[in-house]
Amino acid sequence: MSATPTPADEIAIRMAGINKWYGGYHALRDVNLEVRRGERIVICGPSGSGKSTLIRAINQLEAVQEGQIVVDGIELTAGGHNVDEVRRDVGMVFQQFNLFPHLTILQNCVLAPMKVRGTPRAEAEATARRYLERVRIPEQADKYPAQLSGGQQQRVAIARALCMNPRIMLFDEPTSALDPEMVKEVLDTMIDLAGEGMTMICVTHEMGFARAVADRVIFMDQGQIIEEAAPDTFFDAPRHERTRAFLQQIH
Amino acid sequence: MIRPFGLSDILLIAEAIRWTLALSAIAFAGGAIGGLAIALARTADARWLRTLAMLFIRLFQGTPLLMQLFLAFFGMNILGLAINPWLAASLALTLHASAFLGEIWRGSIEAVPSGQREAATALGLRYYDRMTSVILPQAARISVAPTVGFLVQLIKGTSLASIIGFTELTRTGQIVNNATFAPFAVFGTVAAFYFLLCWPLSLMARRMETRFARATTR
């Protein structure tokens, strides 16, 4: 990283001194993380390392007990209505897709823009069709999620998040629940998105994706950030023993 | 004076079906409103709401319906209101149905995968939109069969209102029996009418259950 401090308006997310406990279990330990606008970050680590908990704290799907979280200049201090503002600007894609099964693909995509932003239906549908086109499944708009393959569903989930015009996208193991032959189509969609300058944080073990797209790779273990580096340095010359052990396991 | 049990008696009993249906409808409509409130309170974030709803459910599930009817009936007297079997029976059955439907619908809401709530929340949907657009439509599909099943219980339960003097199907049977003294024929007829009301509903509940099972395994 550069020696000159990043100007405040260039920071998309700042997390400082984050601690979280589930009962007696210390899930996040003194985590500090700064994400610049347009930056693409990949977080990896063994299961239970706190990586999902960390990104779920950014849109407050998980509350943390200690620390400061600032997203897009909005501070998420416990309670308060600013969490709604943040959620509108932060899109999230889940491991299990979590499409709404009782709604068609198009209805999935227009629900939040209409209910949260008050976008008129015609405009919301036009936007939705544009994004469905971008994730290359415009012809599925009137089907239900159960009629689509896993890879298609995950691409719809990405389109659904994009329909809210988010400034930041969070991906929580987006390819872990997919059959191997469908991983590529989802990763390609994410690579396209990265190419357009979206600020992205991805929890993933797809190391090819990390090399191709990430500005920084972060390794977490036991609730702590152990190591962070540019992908080439991270993969070719990891500094920490635990990082090396982890990389050996997944390669 | 004892008269023989005949067609006119059967017609008299048949006419009383409407009061059984009316009381069931009132209890079901009231119970639907109360039950939705109980189910939402039971799944709320606020702990005191959850506890309050749980106590309500425990209270009405843990006491006999007959006692609830007595308490509503005699309670009105203590409060200085005129004794009114319609009001007492409607009140007691509504509270009873609220507790049971509340519990059924709580289970249905909780059966919707937690990822649905998370995805809706992450999209910025607030509680009202999250419930009305995402959670409740899915919970409703899960709850249809057990709800119809409870409606059958409720229809049969209205027979207890006869004891506080509400003249529905069972009470009419008692009145006819007092005049004809043909208890087996009279109550056999009454039972047959209950069966005709409840059986189609039971069939419907079972069919909806299999249809739902098929829809979810797809």
**Is there a contact between A217 and A205 (Cβ–Cβ < 8 Å)?**
no
User: If phi over 0 gives left and psi between -120 and 50 gives alpha, with beta otherwise, what is residue A182?
Assistant: alpha
A200 found inside a domain: yes
Q: Would you call B119 and A100 a contact, using CB atoms and an 8 Å cutoff?
A: yes
A108 found inside a domain: yes
Averaged pLDDT for residues B124-134: 96
Give the pLDDT confidence of A89-144 residue by residue, as tens digits: 999 999 999 999 999 999 999 999 999 999 999 999 999 999 999 999 999 999 99
Picking from A98, A131, A167 by the largest number of B CB atoms within 10 A of its own CB, the best residue to mutate is A98
Rounded Cα distance, A241 and B202, in Å: 65
How many CB pairs below 8 Å do chains A and B form together? Answer: 60
Rounded Cα distance, A136 and A192, in Å: 11
- The average confidence (pLDDT) of chain B is 92
Give the pLDDT confidence of B134-183 residue by residue, as tens digits: 999 999 989 999 999 999 999 999 999 999 989 999 999 999 999 999 99
Q: What is the pTM of this model?
A: 0.89
Confidence category of residue A250, pLDDT binned at 50, 70, 90? confident
- Contacts of residue A96 in chain B, CB cutoff 8 Å? 113, 115
**Is there a contact between B108 and B135 (Cβ–Cβ < 8 Å)?**
no
Q: Would you call B121 and A61 a contact, using CB atoms and an 8 Å cutoff?
A: yes
A21 found inside a domain: no
Q: Give yes or no for residue A170 having a pLDDT over 60.
A: yes
Which of helix, strand or coil describes residue A68? Answer: strand
Q: Give yes or no for residue A151 having a pLDDT over 50.
A: yes
**Is there a contact between A208 and A150 (Cβ–Cβ < 8 Å)?**
no
- Contacts of residue A59 in chain B, CB cutoff 8 Å? 121-122
What is the structure's pLDDT at B11? 93
Rounded Cα distance, B186 and A8, in Å: 86
Structural domain containing residue A173: 40-51+88-249
- Residue B138: φ, ψ to 5°: -75, -40
Give the pLDDT confidence of B9-33 residue by residue, as tens digits: 999 999 999 999 999 999 999 999 9
Confidence category of residue A55, pLDDT binned at 50, 70, 90? very high
> How many structural domains does chain A have?
1
Give the pLDDT confidence of B173-216 residue by residue, as tens digits: 999 999 999 999 999 999 999 999 999 999 988 888 787 766 65
Instruction: Give chain B's radius of gyration (CA, Å).
Output: 21
Closest CA to A140 of A188, A167, A105: A105
Averaged pLDDT for residues A198-221: 94
> What ipTM does the predicted assembly reach?
0.92
Q: Hey, what CATH class is B7-217 in?
A: mainly alpha
Chain A's closest residue to B128, CA to CA, is A115
Which amino acid makes up residue B206? R
One-character DSSP codes across B4-39? ---HHHHHHHHHTHHHHHHHHHHHHHHHHHHHHHHH
Element (H or E) spanning A141, and its range? none
- Contacts of residue A115 in chain B, CB cutoff 8 Å? 125, 129, 133
A8 found inside a domain: no
Q: Which CATH number covers residue A110?
A: 3.40.50.300
